Amino acid sequence: MNYKILSTETVFKGRVFDIQVDQIEYDSGTPGVREIAIHHGGAVVLPVNPEGKIVMVRQFRYPIDQWLLELPAGKLNKGEDPYLCAVRELKEETGYTAEKVVKLGAIVTTPGFCSERLHIYAAFGLSAGDHEREEGEHGMSMIELSMQEIEQKISAGEIIDSKTLSGILMYKIQYEPA
């Protein structure tokens, strides 16, 4: 790219992300600043039940003060394989274990200001069990929806989470081509 980094400073160290401020200089001599959130990423799982319905969770999202319908997902533990994270979050949030977990792809959620990368998997051959939700996930509930129901909810503005929409598109392309 057409710049060099003059300095880099971590101005906030958090539990979920750190904030880094870089001073840069374009080749033209113009100075610039880049403020970025450093996030270590996570995994998302699109569980498909025996009737072909997709399992989603309804959960409260503090930053937007709103209940959302989302695919199960969670942050990577330090050094964790995203595949194992997907399997873990599936069990924790829905109680399901899966016979087969296959990668759909990876996404970046907000590449303009954050490094977060999410790995997305589809899970098949589900067996029900007990969920293991954390206290911050209080009130989370599960819902299983057909693709038609999901598309209606997207059009109605009832599914708005970008990782969920991204996962649905990847699944449609790979498993339900037009």
In which residue are the tokens 């994270």 written? 85
**115 is a site residue for a copy of itself (CB under 8 A):** yes
**Residue whose CB is less far from a copy of itself, 100 or 113:** 113
One symbol per residue from 89 to 108: x for binding a copy of itself (CB under 8 A), - otherwise; what is it?
A: ----------------xxxx
Tokens describing residue 20: 């880094």
CB contact set of 3 (below 8 Å; sequence gap of 6+): 24, 25, 26, 27, 32
Q: What gap in Å lies between CA 21 and CA 42, rounded to an integer?
A: 23
**14 is a site residue for a copy of itself (CB under 8 A):** yes
Q: How far is CA 77 from CA 36, 44, 89, 99, in A?
A: 21, 14, 11, 23
Out of 111, 129, 141, 146, the residue judged to bind a copy of itself by CB under 8 A: 111
Q: Which residues bind a copy of itself (CB under 8 A)?
A: 1-2, 11-12, 14-17, 19, 21-22, 26, 28, 30, 32-39, 60-64, 66, 68, 70, 105-118, 135-136, 138-139, 151, 154-155, 157, 160-163, 165-166, 168-170, 172-174, 176-178
